Amino acid sequence: MTESIIIAGSGGQGVMLLGKVLAEAVMRQGRQVSWFPAYGPEVRGGTSHCMVTVSDQEIGSPYITKADTLIILNNPSFDKFKGRVKRSGLLILNSSLAKTSVAGKVKILQFPFTDIAIGLGNIKVANMVALGCYLGVKKTVKIKEMLEVFKFMAPAGKAGILEVNQMALQEGAKLANG
Amino acid sequence: MEKIFARPEALLDISTHYCPGCGHGIAHRLIAEVVDELGIREKTIGIAPVGCAVVAYDYWNFDCSEAAHGRALAVATAIKRVRPQNIVFTYQGDGDLAAIGTNETIHAANRGENLTVVFINNAVYGMTGGQMAPTTLLGQKTSTTINGRSRQMHGYPLKISEMLALLPGVHYIERVSFHNPQGVLRARQAIKQGFKNQIDNLGFSMVEILSPCPTYWGLSPKESLEWIREVMQKEFPLGMIK
Amino acid sequence: MSKKRILISGNEAIAAGAIHAGCNFYAGYPITPQNELIAYMAKHMPLSSPPGVFIQAESELAAISMVYGAAACGSRAMTSSSSPGVSLKQEGISYISGAQLPAVIVNIMRGGPGLGNIAPAQSDYFQATRGGGHGDYHLIVLAPASVQEAYDLTQKSFYLADKYRIAVMILGDGILGQMMEPINLFTQKNNTHILKPWALTGCKGRKPNIVKSFFLREGALEKFNLKLQKNYELIRRKEACYEGLFLEDARIILVAYGTMARIAKSAVSQLRLLGKKVGLIRPISLWPFPEKAFQSRSKKVKYLVVEMSYGQMLEDVKLAVSALAQVAFLCRSGGGITSEEEIIKKVKKIL
C-alpha cells in the first residue's frame, strides 16, 4: 500500500514541518517513508511545498507527479497544485485563504484552518489543524502516535508551543469526524 | 678552534638555482637560522609558493608542502588548525600573496590564524618572465607594462601590508629590506619576531621583505640594492606597520 | 551502534557518515542544495571526540586548498559543494591528485551550466569521471541512490581514499541531498585508520617529508605518472561495483544511477507486473565504471540509458557494450526529471 501526499502553502506556514512530523510518525510505525522539499529563493512568502510518500515497500522516486492527497494552505498554492491530485484523490483545503467549488471525483474537505488557529491563540498552528484533519480522514497514523512525535520534535524549553500544536492537531481531527 | 659560523641545520647543502643577486637565497637562509635558533626545526612545516621559489622545499631541512598558486594561506590555515602544535609558515611572492591569493590572504588574516607569513616583494613576476606584479611601481617597465606602469591603465602599486594592518585579526606586520647588511639583520630580527609570535600564540604575523630581482629590473646586483634604497623604499616605507 | 532508525536528509547522512568514519577536518562554503551538509558539520564537528576542525571558508576555491593542507598532514578531510562550486574546486582537485592526497569531495549536483537553478541534475558526470581539472588523473566516483547508501558510501569513501591515496567523489543530486528517509546508523568495520608515513607532522626522528605534485627534472614526471596509472589500474580491477536487477532474462536493460535509478526501479517493477522482460543495471561506482556488467550478454539485448543530463553516462555505456548492441537514450536535464510513466512508455515503444 502506498500513499502519496503533496503539502503546499506559502513560506512560513509550516508546510515543511507538517511533512516532517508525518514522516517521523510513519517511520516509527516501521514503514517506509520519504520526504522531499521544494521551494523558491524567498525565505518567507512565495510558495513552498513538500512531498511525503508512505509505503510498505521500498519507495522509488520521492517526487510525486499526482498525489493521493493534496493539503493546500493558501490560494497561490491551490492554483499551482490543483492539477496534481489523482482523479479519485483527496483535497484538503484551507478555506480561510482559498476556496473552490471544483466538481469531479476528487473528494474535497474545506475548513478554515487559519481562523481556527487564530482562535487557539497562534496563527502558526494552522498547519497542524490541517494535519489533524488529514489524519482524521485517512488514519495514516493514530492521533495518539502523532502527539508523541510532537513531544519529541518540539523545541526544548518552550512548553506553550507544544501545547498549542497538540490542541491544533486535536481540533483538526474533530473537523474530519464532525 | 671554535666554529662560530656554519650552515644552519635547517638549510640543506644544496646549491640554489636563483639568479646572481636574488634575494631568495638570503631569505631562505634567514628563515633557517631563525628556525635553528628557536629550536623548532622538527616542528616546522613550511609552505612553498608558486614562483621562483617554487622549489624552496628542496633547500630547507624540515617538512614542507607545495600549494596551488595563491592558496598557501588556505593550505596553512588547515595544517595549523589540525596540528596546532606545529609551527606553520608560508613563503610567498607578490603574485602569490597579493594577486591570485589576495582573498586567501585577507581571510586568513581576518580570521587571525596563528601563522607566520614571509612575503617576498620584488615588484615583478620573476619565474614567468618579468611581468607586472601588484606591487610594481608607477613608471616601472616590465614585460607587460612596456611603457611603464600607468595609474590609468594599471592602477596603483598595492599596499597589501597596510591593508591587512586594518584587520583586528592581524597581530604583527613589519616591512624590511635587503638593501644592505643592516637591512638584512633587521629582516632577520623581524622574521624571528614573526616565528616567536606564533610560538606565543599571538596571531597572524607577516614580514614583508623588499627583495632584489636584478634580472627583471634590468640592473646589476649592486644597482638593485641601490634601487631598493632610493626608489622602492619611497613607495614601500620600512618599519612596523602593525 | 543502535539499530534504531532515524529520519535524516541525504546531505546530513553524508555528513554523519563522514564523522562516523573519523573525518576530522571539513571546509566548505554555503551553496544550495547542500547547505544542510555544511550546517550539520558546523554543529557536530566540534562535538566529536577529539573535536574535529570545521571551517567555513571564504570560497570553494579556498576550501579545496584547505582540504589539501589537512590531508597533507594526515587528516581524514572532506569538502562539499554543488556544481558551480565544484567547478571552482577543479584546480585544487588536480593538485590533490598530483600530490596523491586522500580526500573526500561531495558534489550535490544541480541544474547548469552557469548559475543554472537549484533543482537536481546529473550534468556533472563528465566533470567527475573525465576529470574537470588538468592532467591525467582520476577520482573514485561513487553514486548513492538512497539516503542509507549515501551514509554507507561516505564511510567507505574515506577508507578507499586512504587505501589508494586518491581523492574520492560522492556524486549526489538535489533530490538525494534534500530528501529525508529512515536510516540505520552504524560504523563500518573496515574503517581502521591506515598509517601515513608520508604526512607532514614535523620531521622529528625522520627525514623531512615534502608534499608536492611538481617534478621538474627530466623524466621524473613521466615516471610519476606511470606510478599513478598503475594505481588506477589496480583500482579499476578491484573497486568497480553496481547493482543488477532481473538481468538473467531481460530483453531490455535500463541503465541509471543515483536518484534516476530509483525512478527506473519503479518503472521496472511496474513493467515486470505487465510481463515485460526488463532489467536494470545501476552503476554504484561511476569511476571505475562497471564495464563487466555489460559484457558477455546476448547481442540481442537492448539498453535504455536514463539520466538527468543530455548524454554523459550514455557514452560510458556505449563504450562498455558490445559494438553491435543497441543503446537507446531517454533524458531530461536542466532541472527536469524523467518520470516513471515516461520510462514505461519508452520501454514499450522499444520492445
Query: Could you tell me which of B68, B60, B70 has the C-alpha nearest to residue B94?
Result: B70
Range A134-138 average pLDDT: 94
Q: Which residues contact B111 (CB under 8 A, 6 or more apart)?
A: B77, B169
Query: Could you tell me which of C202, C13, C200 has the C-alpha nearest to residue C101?
Result: C200
Task: Give the pLDDT score at C2.
Answer: 47
Burial (CB < 10 A; 0-12, 13-18, 19+), residue C41, is buried
Contact (CB<8Å) B65/C91? no
Scanning every residue of chain C, which has its alpha carbon at the shortest distance from the alpha carbon of A50?
C179
Of the candidates A24, A33, A37, which has its C-beta nearest C178's C-beta?
A37
β-partners of residue C184 are C5
Predicted confidence (pLDDT) per residue in C40-55, tens digit? 999 999 999 889 999 9
Q: At what angle do helices A15-28 and A143-153 cross, to 10 degrees?
A: 110
- Output the CATH code of domain A2-177: 3.40.920.10
Range B184-211 average pLDDT: 98
Chains touching A (at least 3 CB pairs under 8 A) are: C
Q: Is B204 on the interface with C (CB under 8 A)?
A: no
- Output the CATH code of domain B24-240: 3.40.50.970
C243-350 maps to CATH 3.40.50.920: yes
CA terminus-to-terminus distance, chain C: 47
Predicted confidence (pLDDT) per residue in C98-139, tens digit? 999 999 999 999 998 998 888 889 999 999 999 889 999 999
Please say whether the beta carbons of C210 and C145 come within 8 A.
no
Q: Which residues contact A154 (CB under 8 A, 6 or more apart)?
A: A161, A162, A165
Task: Give the pLDDT score at A157.
Answer: 79
The mean predicted confidence, pLDDT, of chain C is: 93
Domain ranges, ordered by start, for chain A? 2-177
Is residue C30 pLDDT above 50, yes or no? yes
Please say whether the beta carbons of C146 and C180 come within 8 A.
no
Task: Residue C95: list chain B partners with CB under 8 A.
Answer: 66-68
Predicted confidence (pLDDT) per residue in B105-141, tens digit? 999 999 999 999 999 999 999 888 899 999 999 999 9
Q: Using CA atoms, how far apart are residues B27 and B33, in angstroms rounded to an integer?
A: 10
Contact (CB<8Å) A61/C178? no
Of the candidates C24, C69, C204, which has its C-beta nearest B76's C-beta?
C69
Task: Residue A62: list chain C partners with CB under 8 A.
Answer: 175, 179, 181, 262
Task: Give the pLDDT score at A133.
Answer: 95
Residue B64, all three cell numbers = 614542507
For residue C33, the surrounding DSSP H or E stretch is none
Query: Could you tell me which of C91, C87, C97, C106 has the C-alpha nearest to residue C28?
Result: C106
Predicted confidence (pLDDT) per residue in A26-68, tens digit? 999 999 999 999 866 666 667 889 999 999 988 988 989 899 9
**H helices of B69-201, where?**
72-82, 94-98, 102-110, 151-154, 160-164, 181-199
Q: Using CA atoms, how far apart are residues C261 and C313, in angstroms rounded to an integer?
A: 13
Domain ranges, ordered by start, for chain B? 24-240
Strands (E), chain C: 5-9, 25-28, 53-56, 77-81, 103-109, 140-142, 167-173, 180-184, 210-211, 242-245, 252-255, 278-283, 285-287, 302-307, 326-331
Burial (CB < 10 A; 0-12, 13-18, 19+), residue A11, is middle
Please say whether the beta carbons of B60 and C207 come within 8 A.
no
At B56, the pLDDT band (50, 70, 90 cuts) reads: very high
Q: Using CA atoms, how far apart are residues A157 and C214, in angstroms rounded to an integer?
A: 57
Q: What are phi and psi of B128, to 5 degrees?
A: -95, 5
Predicted confidence (pLDDT) per residue in C229-266, tens digit? 999 999 999 999 999 999 999 999 999 999 999 999 99
Q: Supply the pTM of this predicted model.
A: 0.91
Range A59-82 average pLDDT: 91
Contact (CB<8Å) B79/C72? yes
Contact (CB<8Å) C203/B62? yes
Angle at B15 between CA B9 and CA B16, to 5 degrees: 100
- Output the CATH code of domain C5-239: 3.40.50.970
Is residue B215 pLDDT above 70, yes or no? yes
Smallest CA–CA distance, residue A27 to chain C, in Å, is: 7
CA terminus-to-terminus distance, chain A: 27
Of the candidates A33, A37, A61, which has its C-beta nearest C262's C-beta?
A61
Q: Using CA atoms, how far apart are residues C156 and C163, in angstroms rounded to an integer?
A: 10
Amino acid at C42: A
Is residue C27 pLDDT above 70, yes or no? yes
Of the candidates C58, C208, C214, which has its C-beta nearest B54's C-beta?
C214
Smallest CA–CA distance, residue C146 to chain A, in Å, is: 10
List the single range of A88-97, A98-107, C84-93 with lowest mean pLDDT: A98-107
Q: Using CA atoms, how far apart are residues B104 and B77, in angstroms rounded to an integer?
A: 10
- 3-state SS class at C179: coil
**What is the SS3 string spanning chain A?**
CEEEEEEEEEECCCHHHHHHHHHHHHHHCCCEEEEEEEECCCCCEEEEEEEEEEECCCCCCCCCCCEEEEEECCHHHHHHHHHHEEEEEEEEEECCCCCCCCCCCCEEEEECHHHHHHHHCCHHHHHHHHHHHHHHHHCCCCHHHHHHHHHHHCCCCCHHHHHHHHHHHHHHHHHHHC
Q: Using CA atoms, how far apart are residues C254 and C282, in angstroms rounded to an integer?
A: 8
Is residue A138 pLDDT above 60, yes or no? yes
Domain ranges, ordered by start, for chain C? 5-239, 243-350
Task: Residue C263: list chain A partners with CB under 8 A.
Answer: 60-61, 63
Smallest CA–CA distance, residue C174 to chain A, in Å, is: 10
Scanning every residue of chain A, which has its alpha carbon at the shortest distance from the alpha carbon of C265?
A60
The mean predicted confidence, pLDDT, of chain B is: 96
- 3-state SS class at C306: strand
Q: Which residues contact A51 (CB under 8 A, 6 or more apart)?
A: A4, A5, A6, A7, A19, A34, A35, A36, A38, A62, A63, A64, A67
Please say whether the beta carbons of B119 and B209 come within 8 A.
yes
Task: Residue A61: list chain C partners with CB under 8 A.
Answer: 175, 259, 262-263, 266, 337, 339-340
Task: Residue B14: list chain C partners with CB under 8 A.
Answer: none
